[in-house]
A and B are shown apart, each in its own frame.
Chain A
Amino acid sequence: MATFNFELVSPERVLFSGDVDAVVLPATEGDMTVLAGHAPVMTALKTGFLVVTSTPGNGRRVLIRGGFADINQNGLTVLAERALPEEELTQDILDQEILTAEMHYDATNEPAARQAAESAIAQLREAKAALNF
């Protein structure tokens, strides 16, 4: 299977850099899978799991909160505002994230921002359920 270059960068560090088979992105308009030779796309990301597949049948999940993905001929670059690999996730961190999202929800009156916060909360709750906390 053809591979492409993928980079996952958060403000604090570079989380992943290397060749991968496929990446599933939680884009704002719905999840999308990026394979080698994808057309150039720039998309905003919402809160959710990003799945990196570097060897077939072996995925690695990273929880990301907000950010951008830039797909061009050189590969895929994801700029996540916050990124947490599955291994580092704990119940406390998730609860904290949910709390921040709820605070965002309460802090605004704009329908768009409220909706975004609401879907983030739903995603985080789902993540929490999926990880059996």
Chain B
Amino acid sequence: MPSLKDLRNRIASVKATQKITKAMQMVAAAKLRRAQTAAEAARPYAERMSAVLGNLASGITVGPETPRLLAGTGSDRVHLLIVCTAERGLCGAFNSSIARLARDHATRLMAEGKTVKIICVGKKGYDILRRQFAEQIIELIDLRSVRQIGFEQGDMIAQKVLARFDAGEFDVATLFYSRFRSVIAQIPTAQQIIPAQIEATGASSDAVYDYEPEEGEILTTLLPRNLTVQIFRALLENAASEQGARMSAMDNATRNAGEMIKKQTMTYNRSRQAMITKELIEIISGAEAL
């Protein structure tokens, strides 16, 4: 049976923890709003981009002239996984669910005899994956110093990926991130970015386009840009998801702490009463004995 003092200490410490989780929840809520607006503001660009690309791609036939970013290298031996996670923990299952998706993907590919390379964006994913895939991880991109994700970060990562692609280091690239649906639902997603996945629009394919400069030339500049946009979008979605996940995780933690405090206060009061009763009995029985 813990003493009264122990119980008091324990309650105080849980209360302190609850204050921290409450504060973290509030910070996450404020950050979430900003991240969510940023993610939503970026959506139109990404959507128009894929529409334009769809228009363009539906007009051409895949041949030897087609850029490799669209047609692929013709093999799928080496896979690159770009795993985007958060830089910080304490956000529920956010990091581990992205990492799990990437891990399953990687193990499946390796079982098929393919070579797997991994680029980690964000420290947490690296921490989880390095235990199993220490040899496969070729790069860790740290965005800890970045406060607000901008287009430059997306561009920076895309340039790194493109340089590796041009050097022939891999054939297929897949991006792992968490799609933001709502505060309580973030969906870990795998998206193939090289060769580009293009949804055929078909709507305006009958229109005859003029191209300035040449069709192929436009495609060669548009495809790397599309890659940047996709990565940028993934980073923004991820940022919003992270804050959402942290908010609900901290909300849970605060609630659990409250429950714990309630239970322990009850025990504390009971044992205090028991102590008083015991003392009274001692006094009364002492008086009776006289």
Contact = CB atoms under 8 A, between A and B. Distances in A.
Q: How large is the interface on B (under 10, 10 to 19, 20 to 34, 35 or more residues)?
A: 20 to 34
A44 B209 CA distance: 13
Interface string B222-250: 10010001001000000000000000000
A123 interface: no
Interface stretch (A54-62, A65-73, A125-133): A65-73
Contact of A42 (B151, B211, B229): B211
A44 B151 contact: no
B175 to A, nearest CB: 17
Contact of B207 (A40, A43, A68, A81): A40
Contacts of B211: 41-43
A29 B213 contact: yes
A44 B210 contact: no
Contact of B55 (A13, A14, A27, A72): A72
Contacts of A77: 48, 51-52
Contacts of A79: 45, 48-49, 52
A82 B42 CA distance: 13
Interface residues of A, number: 25
B52 to A, nearest CB: 5
A97 interface: no
Contacts, number: 77
A13 B38 CA distance: 8
B67 to A, nearest CB: 15
Nearest to B232: A11
Contacts of A11: 42, 45, 151, 154, 229, 232
Interface in A84-128: none
Contacts of A73: 204, 207
Nearest to A80: B45
Interface string B62-93: 00000000000000000000000000000000
8 contacts: A12-B42, A14-B41, A28-B213, A29-B213, A42-B52, A44-B212, A68-B225, A70-B48
Interface of A: 7, 9-14, 27-29, 39-44, 68, 70, 72-74, 77, 79, 81-82
